[in-house]
Amino acid sequence: MNKLSAFIASTFIFISVLFVTYWLHVTYFSVNVVFYAAIFDGVLATGISFLILYFGRVFQSITGFEKLLIVLIWTLGGYAFAISVPTVIDRSLSFYILEKIDQRGGGIREDAMEQVFVEEYMKEHQLVAIRLTEQLESGTIKIENGCVILTPQGERIVKISKWFRANLLPKQRLLLGVYSDALTDPFRDSVISVTYICSKNAN
């Protein structure tokens, strides 16, 4: 088998192992966070495929260095799959909008979309529970005595995200026919008087 055929065959094996691994994981095992689970599946599939590539006689035409490059490609492919397929479908508001329109017979009034998000999206996708679980698993928050608190890691990430939002997000972004910089500072018009604040040092 020449090198090109060996590369195509080995990559087909990787893709097959990745999909089987992912399917088995989400079907028969507990999943804490979809993205992390998919990343794990990508790493596992890469490892299994590497063993096949390394020990398979039909892949002897590929040198050791080329095998290393192939494994790197597979690793990137596994990451791309994790973030672009299950994670996007699980998290995406865009997919939800399309699915909701389809569920409601193919059309929803534009002036009712905010109502759909507030009254249906949050509940149907258990958005609060999912996002809190993700942040707990990531170590960016902790929950103590009913108070959701940023960890030092969470505080660092907030500083990075706020800087990126203010400096590297589009200053003229199209929002329903109007170009605006509103999302570079979404809290610009936030309500100051709120009743849900709890103390970081609450006992």
Q: Which stretch of DSSP H or E encloses residue 63?
A: none
Reported as a pLDDT band with limits 50, 70 and 90, residue 110 is very high
173 and 184 assigned to the same domain: yes
Domain that holds residue 200: 141-203
Q: Which helix (H) or strand (E) holds 88?
A: helix 86-91
* 46 and 8 assigned to the same domain: yes
Same domain, 75 and 99: no
Query: Coil, helix or strand for 30?
Result: coil
Pair (75, 105) in one structural domain: no
Question: What whole-number distance in Å separates Cα of residue 86 and Cα of residue 63?
Answer: 34
Query: What is the tens place of the pLDDT at every residue in 17-41?
Result: 999 999 999 999 999 999 999 999 9
Q: Output the pTM of the full model.
A: 0.79
pLDDT tens per residue, range 46-76: 999 999 999 988 888 899 899 999 999 999 9
